[in-house]
């Protein structure tokens, strides 16, 4: 008599099949099967990715994209993983990590072009080393150029929209376009890239000449402010909520008496109420339940709705 079907074994066979198909089609591209997303997200939360792929250049990225299209495989883009809440059960299909797209160069005396996988901190330091000002605010922002452009990252009065002049974008038909200025649609925590299917490949920034020492001092000053006010010692995905109309998320959460509120291993930070942190062993379910409780109680106490800034997969 046959043994009962084992759903886990079936799922693993499906994962192996997709992995094997992709490896056969793209033998030079780095692939991982059943890679835990908790290893790739700043929250340290997330189950296995069916296939995680790490293209090293535009050609490999295009080949990966073409494979997913032809195979009918779903895909998601993962940069630094600093703004992602990944599900406990993992993600099916293909996760494309942009970390290998890490070129960084001067296009001219005041223009820097960076691959999507370049950390924003590295970009800011590169600019400082070349005596270019305008990216000091980005030094302490976790994440990569691609993710930063996708959400128009900003801090301490600065945003990428102030310095970004163009971006190369892999479109749904597999071609790479260069979007400039208003075409990128950069606004508060939003961009035109959110409304399109594709992948940010690189971005170009127009900066200004400055004194490297003054730039370095400013970067250090902002980093110290961040360390003093944010729970950088605990896993999180940064600010949990967008800034609402009529207030600040952290203040509203604190006024509702929610500092320290805990669900499982997830908690509202004691240091900064705008952060949900992983105290150890937090699950995606814990974070989602905590977010729901925060939203309900802030709405009840202030009448102001809170919208998550983190990307919930």
Catalytic (active-site) positions: 189, 239, 309
Q: Is 88 exposed, middle or buried (0-12, 13-18, 19+ CB in 10 A)?
A: middle
Place of tokens 């974008």: 169
Alpha carbon separation from 261 to 266, 279, 311 (Å, rounded): 9, 12, 21
Half-sphere exposure of residue 120, counting CA atoms within 13 Å on the CB side?
A: 30
Parallel, antiparallel or unpaired: strands 154-155 and 158-159: antiparallel
Alpha helices in 167-232 (DSSP H): 212-229
**Residue 206: enclosing H or E segment and its boundaries?**
strand 198-206
Output the six-digit token pair for 109. Answer: 């005396």
Q: Is 114 exposed, middle or buried (0-12, 13-18, 19+ CB in 10 A)?
A: buried
d(CA 269, CA 164): 32
């Amino acid at each position: 008599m046959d043994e009962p079907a084992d759903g886990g074994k079936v799922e693993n066979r499906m994962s192996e099949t997709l992995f094997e198909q992709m490896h056969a089609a793209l033998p030079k591209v780095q692939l991982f099967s059943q890679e835990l997303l908790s290893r790739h997200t700043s929250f340290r939360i997330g189950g296995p990715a069916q296939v995680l792929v790490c293209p090293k250049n535009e050609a490999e990225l295009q080949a990966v994209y073409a494979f997913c299209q032809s195979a009918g495989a779903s895909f998601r883009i993962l940069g630094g993983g600093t703004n992602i809440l990944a599900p406990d059960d993992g993600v099916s299909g293909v996760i494309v990590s942009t970390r290998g797209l890490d070129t960084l160069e001067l296009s001219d005396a005041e223009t820097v072009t960076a691959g999507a996988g370049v950390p924003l901190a590295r970009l800011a330091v590169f600019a400082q080393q070349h005596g270019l000002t305008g990216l000091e605010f980005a030094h302490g922002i976790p994440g990569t150029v691609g993710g930063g452009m996708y959400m128009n990252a900003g801090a301490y009065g600065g945003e990428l929209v102030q310095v970004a002049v163009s971006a190369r974008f892999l479109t749904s038909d597999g071609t790479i376009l260069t979007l400039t200025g208003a075409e990128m649609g950069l606004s508060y925590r939003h961009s035109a890239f959110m409304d399109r299917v594709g992948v940010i490949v690189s971005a170009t920034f127009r900066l200004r000449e400055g004194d490297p020492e003054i730039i370095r001092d400013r970067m250090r000053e902002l980093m110290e402010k961040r360390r003093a006010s944010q729970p950088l010692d605990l896993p999180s995905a940064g600010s949990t909520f967008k800034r609402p109309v009529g207030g600040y998320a952290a203040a509203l959460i604190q006024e509702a008496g929610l500092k320290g509120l805990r669900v499982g291993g997830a908690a509202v930070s004691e240091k900064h109420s705008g952060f949900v942190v992983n105290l150890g062993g937090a699950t995606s379910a814990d974070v989602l339940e905590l977010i729901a409780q925060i939203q309900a109680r802030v709405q009840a106490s202030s009448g102001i709705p809170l919208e998550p800034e983190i990307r919930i997969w």
